[in-house]
């Protein structure tokens, strides 16, 4: 899996990449792609761009490599000095996939109204501040009603599908739910 992790104002493009042994793109990145090679890119094609003129509380969730675009979104919120209350959940299927803790901490330090930020881990060796469990279970425990929130969600298609189903059940209107599943494609 890979995801764009740059802000619109960045001079360079950044991608967070999780290599999968049998993945066609992973094989190409691991075995063929070299520094200096040219790549042809399309996009971005998603709908999870920041809506700056909404005063609603913001819930940001990510799964695995979804952390990259989540951090870019948080940097944009910080740069804009948005006063919205911010709630962040970075989920990882296993402790071995956790990355970007320092970058996440850096991206949150200047947020005007950060309420809390959690790393949710499905299993493995945890830090003392990590929460054990599935992202959907933690969200269920932490929020009764999300109808007043604007939500940004980034991650694998399955994680986003399950999370969006829960978020809709918790009251998030379709026009306030901005999800960016990383669609798999043939290479």
R_g of the chain, CA atoms, integer Å: 16
Please give the average per-residue pLDDT across 86-99, as a whole number.
90
pLDDT of residue 87 exceeding 70? yes
> Which pTM does this prediction carry?
0.78
Preceding amide of 44 cis, omega within 30: yes
CA distance 78 to 111: 5
Q: Are the C-beta atoms of 70 and 111 separated by less than 8 Å?
A: no
Query: pLDDT tens across 101-160, in order?
Result: 888 898 898 898 999 888 999 888 888 889 999 999 999 999 999 999 999 998 888 888
Q: Residue 17: which pLDDT band, with cuts at 50, 70 and 90? A: low
- Torsion of the alpha carbons at 42, 17, 101 and 110, rounded to the nearest 10: -10
Closest CA to 39 of 187, 156, 186: 187
| 22 or 45, which is more confident | 22
pLDDT of residue 16 exceeding 70? no
Name the pairing type of β-strands 114-121 and 131-132.
parallel
pLDDT for the residue 187 = 45
Structural domains present in the chain: 55-181 (3.40.50.80)
Half-sphere exposure of 131 (CA within 13 A, CB side): 18
CA distance 156 to 23: 14
Name the pairing type of β-strands 86-92 and 58-63.
parallel
- 7: DSSP letter: -
pLDDT for the residue 128 = 87
């Amino acid at each position: 899996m890979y995801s764009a992790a740059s802000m619109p104002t960045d001079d360079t493009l950044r991608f967070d990449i999780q290599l999968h042994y049998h993945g066609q793109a992973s094989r190409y990145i691991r075995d063929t792609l070299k520094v200096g090679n040219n790549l042809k890119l399309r996009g971005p094609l998603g709908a999870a761009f920041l809506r700056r003129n909404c005063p609603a509380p913001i819930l940001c969730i990510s799964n695995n490599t979804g952390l990259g675009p989540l951090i870019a979104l948080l940097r944009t919120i910080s740069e804009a000095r948005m006063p919205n209350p911010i709630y962040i959940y970075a989920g990882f299927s296993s402790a071995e996939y956790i990355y970007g803790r320092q970058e996440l901490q850096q991206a949150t330090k200047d947020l005007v109204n950060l309420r809390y930020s959690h790393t949710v881990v499905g299993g493995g060796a945890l830090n003392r501040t990590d929460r054990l469990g599935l992202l959907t279970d933690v969200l269920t425990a932490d929020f009764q009603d999300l109808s007043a929130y604007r939500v940004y969600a980034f991650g694998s298609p399955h994680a986003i599908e399950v999370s969006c189903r829960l978020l809709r059940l918790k009251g998030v209107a379709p026009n306030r739910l901005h999800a960016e599943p990383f669609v798999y494609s043939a290479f």
